[in-house]
Amino acid sequence: MSIKKNQMKKSVTIIILLFIVLTCGGALYYLYQKNAEDPVVYKTEKPSTQTIIKKTVATGSILPLEEVLIKPNISGVIEEVFVEGGDYVKSGDPIAKIKVVPNLSSLNEAMNTIEEAKIALNDQKRNLERQKTLFEKGVISKVDLERAEVSADQAKQSYAAANKRFDIVKTGTTKGYGNEANTLIKATVSGMVLEVPVEVGNQVIEANNFNEGTTIAAIADVDKMIFEGKVDESEVGKIKEDLPLEITVGALENIVFDAVLDYIAPKGKIENGAIQFEIKGTLKKRDSIFIRAGLSANASIILARADSVLAVKEALIQFDPETKKPFVEIATDTQVFERRDIQLGVSDGIYIQILNGINPDDEIKIWNEIKPVALGA
C-alpha cells in the first residue's frame, strides 16, 4: 500500500510540474510576441488655409420668369400658322389664323334675332310716320314726335347689331373690322416662341369664363430665367430668401450660373413619402450663353462661406466623452502629444474652420488613421 501511495504522489507531482512549465512557457511566448509587434506610431498633419463653403443642394429646372399663353377669343379650325418654336416675335405680330366653323344653334339664334329686330324696326318706322302726321295736324307735341324718332333710331341700331352678330357667328368678323377681327391671332407680348402646340386643321376653343381655351402658342422673355426646384423639409429650415445660389445645368458642362434665392414656399407638399418645399431663384444670365427653358438643373444654396481661413480635416477632431467639447492633440515631442481645446467654425463636411486654439505650424495627431490590411494576413 505504501508503495502505491508513493507512486501516486510522484505522478501528481509530475503533473503539477508539467502544468507549471507549460503555463510559464505560454506566458513567456505571449510576452515575446507582444514585444515583437511594432509599436503604434501616430502620424501628424498641419492645419491648412482653405475656402470653406457650406451648402445644400436642390434639384429642379430652368424656366422663364414669365410665360404667356396665347389663346383665341373665338372657336374654329386652325387655317394657317405663321410661327414656330424658337422664333422671336413682337407684340402684335400674327401667330395663327382661324377659320370659323359656325355653330348651327348659335347661327339659328342669330338669324332669329335679325328677324325679331327687323319686325321691331318696321313697327317703329310705321309708328314714326303716324306720329309725324299727327304732329303736322297739331294733335301731338314735338316732344312726342322726338320720342318716336328716338325709338325708331334704337330699333335701327338693334337691327344693325343683330346683323353684325350674325356675321360674327358665321365668319368670325363683320364689316368695319376687316378679316382680322377675331380670326387672326396675334402675340400679346414680345419674346421667343417656346412652343406652338397646334397644327393646321386642329380645332380650337375660345377662352371664356367656363373654359381655359386652347393654347395657340407660348411666348416668354428668355433673357429673364429662373431656377425652380424643391428642397426637403430637413433642409428648408436652414435656408432663407436672398441667399446666393450656384446653378449648374446638366446640358451645359463646367458652367456655373449665379442666382439669388427669391422665394420659399410657405407650405410643403408630400411627394414620394417626403415633404418638399418649392423654391425659386432669379438667374444672372450670361449674354453669350443661351439657356433653353425646361432644362434640368441643380442649385447649390450657399448657407455659409469662409474665405482663406485656418482649417483642418474633420477627421482630426475629437470630442470629450463627458463635455462633448471639441479638441485636438498637438505634438510636443516625438510621439508625445497634449490636448488642445478648440473653437469650430464653418464646415463643408471635409474641412472645418478653426476659430482659435491652434497655430498654423502645429502638428496635429492623426488619431484614427486606418491602416490597410496586408494580403494573406
Q: Which of 51-55, 135-139, 222-226 has the lowest mean pLDDT?
A: 135-139
Confidence label for 29 from pLDDT (cuts 50, 70 and 90): low
Q: At what angle do helices 104-136 and 142-171 cross, to 10 degrees?
A: 160
- Rounded to whole angstroms, the Cα distance separating 63 from 226 reads 5
Share of the chain above pLDDT 90, in %: 38
Span 254-263, pLDDT tens digits = 888 999 999 9
- Rounded to whole angstroms, the Cα distance separating 155 from 127 reads 12
Residue 90 has pLDDT above 90, yes or no: yes
The residue that leads in pLDDT, 165 or 357, is 357
CATH number of 44-53+307-365: 2.40.420.20
Of residues 191, 173, 184, 169, the one with CA closest to residue 216: 184
pLDDT at 220: 93
Q: Which CATH number fits domain 56-65+220-305: 2.30.30.90, 2.40.30.170, 1.20.140.10, 3.40.30.10?
A: 2.40.30.170
- Rounded to whole angstroms, the Cα distance separating 268 from 278 reads 7
Q: Which sequence spans correspond to the domains of the chain? A: 44-53+307-365, 56-65+220-305, 70-99+187-217, 101-171
The residue that leads in pLDDT, 170 or 352, is 352
Q: Counting Cβ atoms within 10 Å, is residue 166 exposed (0-12), middle (13-18) or buried (19+)?
A: buried
Share of the chain above pLDDT 70, in %: 84
pLDDT at 166: 77
Of residues 212, 173, 214, 211, the one with CA closest to residue 81: 214
Q: Are 263 and 230 in contact (CB under 8 A)?
A: no
Domain spanning 101-171, CATH class: mainly alpha
pLDDT at 376: 46
Residue 136 has pLDDT above 90, yes or no: no
Q: Which residues contact 340 (CB under 8 A, 6 or more apart)?
A: 327, 328, 329, 330, 357, 358, 362
Residue 4 has pLDDT above 60, yes or no: no
Q: Which residues contact 282 (CB under 8 A, 6 or more apart)?
A: 65, 224, 226, 259, 260, 262
pLDDT at 230: 92
Residue 367 has pLDDT above 80, yes or no: yes
**Helix %, strand %, coil % of the chain (to 5):** 30, 35, 35
In this prediction, residues 269-277 reach a mean pLDDT of 90
Q: How far is CA 137 from CA 133, 150, 342, in A?
A: 6, 21, 117
pLDDT at 278: 94
Q: How many angstroms from the chain centroid is the CA of residue 149?
A: 66
Span 274-307, pLDDT tens digits = 899 999 999 987 777 888 888 999 999 888 889 9
Residue 11 has pLDDT above 80, yes or no: no
Residue 200 has pLDDT above 90, yes or no: yes
pLDDT at 377: 44
Of residues 82, 94, 42, 55, the one with CA closest to residue 332: 42
* Grid cell locating 296: 434640368
Radius of gyration of the chain (CA): 45
Q: What is the DSSP letter of 120?
A: H
pLDDT at 373: 47
pLDDT at 375: 46
Residue 227 has pLDDT above 90, yes or no: yes
- Rounded to whole angstroms, the Cα distance separating 3 from 119 reads 157
Q: Counting Cβ atoms within 10 Å, is residue 322 exposed (0-12), middle (13-18) or buried (19+)?
A: exposed
Q: Hey, which residues does 343 pair with through a beta bridge?
A: 356
pLDDT at 374: 47
pLDDT at 269: 92
Residue 339 has pLDDT above 80, yes or no: yes
Span 61-82, pLDDT tens digits = 999 988 999 998 888 889 999 9
pLDDT at 41: 81
- Rounded to whole angstroms, the Cα distance separating 278 from 236 reads 10
- Rounded to whole angstroms, the Cα distance separating 339 from 316 reads 12
Q: Which CATH number fits domain 70-99+187-217: 2.40.50.100, 3.40.50.2000, 1.10.3720.10, 2.40.110.10?
A: 2.40.50.100
- Rounded to whole angstroms, the Cα distance separating 377 from 373 reads 7
Residue 207 has pLDDT above 90, yes or no: no
Strand pairing class (318-319; 44-45): unpaired
